[in-house]
Structure 1
Amino acid sequence: MFKAIYQTHPPRLRFLLFMLVAAGLLPLTLLGVWSVNAVYEQQQSDLRRATLDLSRALSSAVNAEIESSVAALETLSYHPALSAGRYEEFHSIVRDAAQARPYWLSVILSDASGKVLLRSTRPYGDVDLNVRDPDSLRQVLNEKRPVVGASREGTSSVVAVPVRVPVMQGGELRYVITAALKPDRIDDILARQHVPEGWAIAVADQAFQRMSRSHDREQFVGKRLSESFQRELDNVDTEGISVAPNAAGVESIIGFTKLPRWGLSVIVGAPVSSLNQVVSTALFMYAATLALSLLVCLLVAKTIARRIVAGIATLQMHARDMGQGRAVKAQACGIAEFDQLSKSLETASMERMAVEGHRRVLVDNLDRSLRSIRAAMEQAREASAAKDHFLAVLGHELRNPWRRSFPRWT
């Protein structure tokens, strides 16, 4: 079908050149699309790795802060005043320890049954028996190991995270020392991270509740993670990467690292929009470059087509002149092959005109020869006629000779 169309409606040269340009740019276009996709995948891989690496580093810093508080509490647990049961003296000691650490809100001493014996924020003997996070206290009593509880709001309306350490005496658990840590310390760690705009960092406790966030703390601290993300945290041991909406509903690449000993999770989210913006910029630049290249190629193809068409028109004129016997004068069109062909046509025209000149001379000579032959033949015919007449007369005379001798008898 296409062959029939080409035969009945052959394409013009400009169209063929434009198709040639398009065919040349098609592989470049496909290669560019593949390159942009490869860049996108590489950027996504780098972004995933960056969020996970940052969550690992921050988890180490958070772990160091928790370990520091646990070590300080363990030091207090070995104090002789506590071993001897001198609670009033020990109250003064823990009060001084809390004042020496501005990120400790208070220090609480509980007995083996979980009953609160003293608080550093209250005078000795004035005891608030309310336990803000009883689950973590029961966990210490059952597992006999240091535990970090869930962030809770205390009597002073300040959110704190309990760090509980068991006090073992004679192989038995006698007390539990708790330091109520203000999240300010962890907030400072997160604030020191110079992350790109739009990134969000959060630290969640074992109850999947945000205890710290890099920004918008008032809006999100104290709120639980989404149920889908909670399930994802439950399904991994230490770390992982996912793509999910962050607390603000922004689709993000999330890298997270868990601290299994403390039940904490450090979560770093990077918005996918930043990656899309990079890719969109790359696509725009590539599309603009490709469009500019296509425009330049089309202009060049148009210029070349104009030269070719002009050269073909010149050759058509030369062919018409040769066909009509006129002299051909070579004209340069800027294309070597056409210029050579034009010169060849000029040479052929000169040779043809020379041959035509020789032919005309030969024809003239032939005409003269023919005229001479015709004249000779005319003379020969006249001579033949005279001869015939003479012979006729002679024959007549020979047949009747007596008539001349005896004219009177006739």
Structure 2
Amino acid sequence: MKTRSYIILVIALVLLPLVALSAWGLHLLLEQEKETQLQGIEEKTRSIALAIDQELADAEGALRVIAQTDHMHREDFASVYALMKRTITTSDSWAVIYDGNGDMLAHTHHPFKSQLSEPSNEWVPAAIALQKPSVSNLREGRAGKWKVVSVNIPVTTSTGKKFLLAHTFHANHFTKLLHRKDMSDTWVVGVFGSDGITIARNLREKEFTGTPVKPQLFDASVNQWSGRIENFTRDGFWAYNAFTHTSRANWTVAIAAPMSEINRSARTATLYAALALCLVLGCAVVGITIFARRITGSFNLTLAAAKALELGGIPQPKTSGVLEADRLQRALQEAGIKLTEENQARKRLEQERERLLHSEQEARRLAENQNTAKDEFLAMLAHELRNPLSPIAAAAELLKLAGKNEKILQQSSDIIVRQVGQLKSLIDDLLDVSRVTRGLVVLDKNKVDIISVVSVAIEQARPLIEARGHDLHLHMRSSHAAVMGDETRLIQVVTNLLNNAAKYTPQGGQITLTVEAQAYEVKLSVADNGIGIEQELLPHVFELFRQAQRTPDRSQGGLGLGLALVRSIMSLHGGRVEAESPGKEKGARFTLYLPLLGTGHGETDLTDESLGASIAPVRLMIVDDNVDAAQTLANLLSAKGHSVVIRNDAKSTIEYSQTDPLALYILDIGLPDMDGYELARRLRKSSATANATLIALTGYGQTHDKESALAAGFDDHFVKPMDIEALDKILASKSPLGFEDTVSHSDQASEHHIG
């Protein structure tokens, strides 16, 4: 049988069942596409219902907080009015206080004690009688000016009187919520209450708000929590109508999507699928036909090509039963054997050539790298030895000039002895430079004063700085700051940075060395106004043997090892180094960060000029059952010059404050014996601390948490961790309460100029 006959038979056996299955599949696709869109509409109704529930929950939460305040229990409606006006009043919502008879006592859109009237308030006693939060259906607003809904909280005061707090929303509030949802412009979205009256609508809202919905939709919402129906809408079209209820109120959210739109979309998708299927089937038929014709022709062409390549000794192929295929097998077998042998031989030759070429390139690269590494190492060695040799040479010159000046002789001798020790240490390290750059050097760590390190480093770098006529400005913003480290290595780091600045700054430049202590680390920076660092080189300045293009004015520059050693040594100390430069000819800054070493419980090794120098001292108390957190914050505030008392429970706080009141209290909310809200209320009631500043410090930062803090009497609310800058502003604005002793700083910031 010929190939063409096989192909025709395959077409008949495959295409006919495929067409039948495709038709059934398209029908299923149509239904599935429509169902998918309807499920999307149902998801959208649930999303809107959740958004409405969130609005109502927020309103109820705010009312609950206000209802629990002392002002409300004491019937201090002026204070309650002020709190409601500040926290829950917007342009389209307001708060109202009703008495048990339904009379309006306060309305936050009107001044307090205004003459207010609201007709038909029979619903108020009923809402109070529920003795639980409730949400109203749509009703007339005050004087019938607009349609409103409200979230209601009944309250019984300490005198036994009953009142109702209501957070009232204009119906337009929920209409705006509907407009924020991403939906088709043709969909009608509505919200109606348990009475079937429309509360909000995205289309024609002025016409239909306050009117009943279609009976068919209302009946379905009564019988089911959620579902869908088909009905003729009030907007004049047939629609698929999906609905669901809200959880906070017995309201229903409904979306009406035109049937024509949903069906058209489904039909369009199905039509595209049908067209694609027809196109595939058509292409298959055309392709098979062309392929059948080409197979016969290709057999003859391949046979002719195979015979042209034939050299003899052809093995007999197996018979396939197809005449053209048998001929193709014989021709391809004859040509294939020879082509395979030739290809294998050619591939072996190419692989061998690639191997030899790669070996040659690798050997050349290795030789170049080794030669470069040798030159760079020798240059680096000379660069590093110059650092201690400079002060030795200067001291030797002083010895020539000193005569019998014992002081100069002693100083010069000390310099030489110290620098010879440094020289020996550097030589030992440079003999094993690979250990240093890989971080394998063992540090001799002890308590080190950074100020001492800076002094020695300046001494080592001074000859080069003076030789190039630079001005060195020294800003000591901490009189002493201790770290745990290897003093020799740290001196080496600072000296490298100073020498680096001196070398790459033109004659008569400016170099600034700044030392300051931050909360947990010491910051040391060396800045210059020299040639700067190009942006392309900046990310690589700490890599081994990396430097900018050498120019004549940089004849004293190193070959890149100095900064690599700086980064390696800082890493071994648990610190870091950063480089920054605005660009070429704009100077550079290198900054070191080292962990600060504490000197004892509740003390620190430094007094920072920036810590509280401009803030008058304040007596304050930190109340927190987390001892470490309280002590850490107290240490920081003490360093800023303030007087801090720590207590870990409410009882001891109250007892201490009765005999020695303070100006400011920072209270944790989650205390073991009494929460921070109650503690704040008691401090406010006490005459000794009634005027103190109370700050809430808590891990909870939602809106209702802040409202609870303000209602309890707090002046400010902070979320952990404490915002120190904001706290400084509060401390700066407070007058000290009973602070009789002035705070003295024995370690004041200093600023020096060398040049």
Q: Which amino acid letter does the alignment assign opposite residue 55 of structure 2?
A: E
Q: Which of residues 92, 108, 111 is equivalent to 1:103?
A: 92
Structure 1 position 164 matched with structure 2 position 170: no
Q: What is the CA distance between 1:95 and its match in structure 2?
A: 3.7
Q: Deviations over 1:140-160 (max 9, x none)?
A: 223211111122343373332
1:69 maps to: 59
Q: Which of residues 210, 220, 242 is equivalent to 1:222?
A: 210
2:713 maps to: none
Contact 1:43 1:275 in 2 (8 A): no
Contact 2:229 2:242 in 1 (8 A): yes
Return closer, same or farther for 1:115/1:133 CA change in 2, 3 Å cut-off: closer
Structure 1 position 241 matched with structure 2 position 228: yes
Contact 1:209 1:223 in 2 (8 A): yes
Structure 1 position 144 matched with structure 2 position 116: no
Structure 1 position 199 matched with structure 2 position 190: no
Contact 1:119 1:127 in 2 (8 A): no
Q: Which amino acid letter does the alignment assign opposite residue 70 of structure 2?
A: P
Distance in 1 separating the partners of 2:33 and 2:119:
48
1:190 maps to: 178
* Correspondence list, 1:8-407, <5 A: 31-97=21-87, 99=89, 101-104=90-93, 106-131=94-119, 134-135=122-123, 137-154=124-141, 155=143, 157-169=145-157, 174-236=162-224, 238-281=225-268
Q: Which amino acid letter does the alignment assign opposite residue 77 of structure 1?
A: A
Distance in 1 separating the partners of 2:159 and 2:239:
49
1:323 maps to: none
- 3-state SS of 1:47 partner: helix
- Where structure 1 has 5 or more consecutive residues not aligned to the other structure, the ranges are 1-20, 297-410
- 3-state SS of 2:91 partner: coil
Distance in 1 separating the partners of 2:135 and 2:209:
17
Contact 1:36 1:279 in 2 (8 A): no
Distance in 1 separating the partners of 2:248 and 2:49:
12
Q: Which amino acid letter does the alignment assign opposite residue 227 of structure 2?
A: G
Q: Deviations over 1:374-398 (max 9, x none)?
A: xxxxxxxxxxxxxxxxxxxxxxxxx
Q: Which amino acid letter does the alignment assign opposite residue 231 of structure 2?
A: A
Higher relative helix content = 1
Q: What is the CA distance between 1:258 and its match in structure 2?
A: 0.8
Calculate percent identity across the aligned residue pairs: 19
Return closer, same or farther for 1:294/1:139 CA change in 2, 3 Å cut-off: same
Q: Which amino acid letter does the alignment assign opposite residue 103 of structure 1?
A: D
State the aligned residue count. 277
Larger relative CO (CA 8 A, sep 6+): 1 or 2?
1
Return closer, same or farther for 1:162/1:286 CA change in 2, 3 Å cut-off: closer
What TM-score comes out, normalization by structure 1 length? 0.57
- 3-state SS of 2:195 partner: coil
Q: Deviations over 1:72-96 (max 9, x none)?
A: 1122222333322233443344344
Q: Which amino acid letter does the alignment assign opposite residue 217 of structure 2?
A: F
Q: What is the CA distance between 1:292 and its match in structure 2?
A: 9.3
Q: Which amino acid letter does the alignment assign opposite residue 174 of structure 2?
A: I
Contact 2:101 2:125 in 1 (8 A): no
- 3-state SS of 1:107 partner: strand
- 3-state SS of 2:212 partner: coil
1:369 maps to: none
Contact 2:149 2:170 in 1 (8 A): yes
Q: Deviations over 1:30-66 (max 9, x none)?
A: 5454333212221222122112211112211111110
Distance in 2 separating the partners of 1:273 and 1:138:
48
Distance in 1 separating the partners of 2:280 and 2:77:
85
Contact 1:115 1:129 in 2 (8 A): yes
Return closer, same or farther for 1:287/1:145 CA change in 2, 3 Å cut-off: same
Return closer, same or farther for 1:231/1:172 CA change in 2, 3 Å cut-off: farther
Q: Which amino acid letter does the alignment assign opposite residue 256 of structure 1?
A: F
Q: Deviations over 1:357-381 (max 9, x none)?
A: xxxxxxxxxxxxxxxxxxxxxxxxx
Q: Which amino acid letter does the alignment assign opposite residue 73 of structure 1?
A: L
Return closer, same or farther for 1:144/1:38 CA change in 2, 3 Å cut-off: same
Q: Deviations over 1:324-347 (max 9, x none)?
A: xxxxxxxxxxxxxxxxxxxxxxxx
Structure number with greater Rg is 1
Q: What is the CA distance between 1:233 and its match in structure 2?
A: 0.7
1:401 maps to: none
Distance in 2 separating the partners of 1:285 and 1:174:
67
- 3-state SS of 1:68 partner: helix
Q: Which amino acid letter does the alignment assign opposite residue 100 of structure 2?
A: A
Contact 1:32 1:286 in 2 (8 A): no
- 3-state SS of 1:122 partner: coil
Q: What is the CA distance between 1:182 and its match in structure 2?
A: 2.2
Q: What is the CA distance between 1:67 and its match in structure 2?
A: 0.7
Return closer, same or farther for 1:213/1:65 CA change in 2, 3 Å cut-off: same
Return closer, same or farther for 1:242/1:74 CA change in 2, 3 Å cut-off: same
What TM-score comes out, normalization by structure 2 length? 0.33
- 3-state SS of 1:178 partner: strand
Distance in 2 separating the partners of 1:172 and 1:37:
69
Q: What is the CA distance between 1:273 and its match in structure 2?
A: 1.1
